[in-house]
């Protein structure tokens, strides 16, 4: 069984912001799996599906980004899912808009949602899909930037990135992290 977590902030105010690309990707995945993320459990909204014969739980923590680990830990404990079967999808400002980077483990890299998940799971050993949202403009506050929305042009790139991230999730589950890294990392780099 896999737990697929999309990070973001709840409430309409944060819809479609850079920080909510994890939520957006999970919506695309839910559609692909013909399910909807509506059940309120584990301080989040969740749904169940199957990818490549494996049961999957889709989870959007509703704790706000900086406390995402509370929701992830509750779901992982309930379903007895090991960290290496928890795939976390989130925004990354060090990647170009729409670029993906898949890792099987690693530090938080300054991302507060990931920092909190690491703290709650007690390990960095969980796979993740970073979705590029572009670099913060100089002199702009980081919080303001990640809570801002994409231009129409960039939104088109992001919609493609969400579909690609969904494919990456499927490859990670059916063929493994390394196959997904080989196929998706560095894609779209200039």
Is 78 marked within a binding site? Answer: no
Question: Which among 19, 85, 111, 120 is annotated as catalytic?
Answer: 19
Is 112 marked within a binding site? Answer: yes
Q: Answer yes or no: 19 catalytic.
A: yes
Is 126 marked within a binding site? Answer: no
- Rounded distance between C-alpha atoms, residue 183 and residue 152, angstroms: 27
Q: Are 82 and 121 in contact (CB under 8 A)?
A: no
Closest residue by Cα to residue 98 from 33, 168, 43: 168
Structure tokens at 87: 């795939």
Task: Please list, in sequence order, all residues whose beta carbon lies within 8 angstroms of the beta carbon of residue 63, skipping any fewer than 6 positions away.
Answer: 43, 44, 70, 71
Is 40 marked within a binding site? Answer: no
Point out the annotated binding site. Answer: 14, 64, 66, 112
Tell me which residues are annotated as active site: 19
Binding-site residues for tRNA sit at 14, 64, 66, 112
């Amino acid at each position: 069984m896999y737990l697929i977590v999309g990070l973001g902030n709840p409430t309409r105010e944060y819809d479609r912001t850079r920080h909510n690309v994890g939520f957006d990707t999970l919506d695309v995945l839910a559609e692909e799996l013909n399910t909807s993320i509506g059940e309120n459990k584990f301080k989040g909204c969740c749904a169940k599906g199957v990818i490549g014969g494996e049961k999957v739980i889709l989870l959007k923590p509703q704790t706000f980004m900086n406390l995402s680990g509370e929701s992830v830990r509750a779901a992982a404990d309930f379903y007895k899912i090991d960290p290496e079967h928890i795939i976390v999808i989130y925004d990354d400002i060090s990647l170009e808009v729409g670029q993906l980077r898949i890792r099987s483990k690693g530090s938080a890299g300054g991302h507060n949602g990931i920092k909190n998940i690491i703290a709650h799971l007690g390990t960095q050993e969980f796979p993740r899909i970073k979705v590029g949202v572009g670099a913060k403009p100089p002199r702009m506050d980081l919080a303001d930037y990640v809570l801002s929305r994409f231009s129409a042009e960039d939104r088109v790139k992001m919609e493609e990135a969400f579909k690609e991230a969904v494919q990456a999730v499927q490859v990670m589950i059916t063929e493994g992290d390394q196959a997904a890294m080989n196929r998706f990392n560095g894609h779209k780099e200039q």
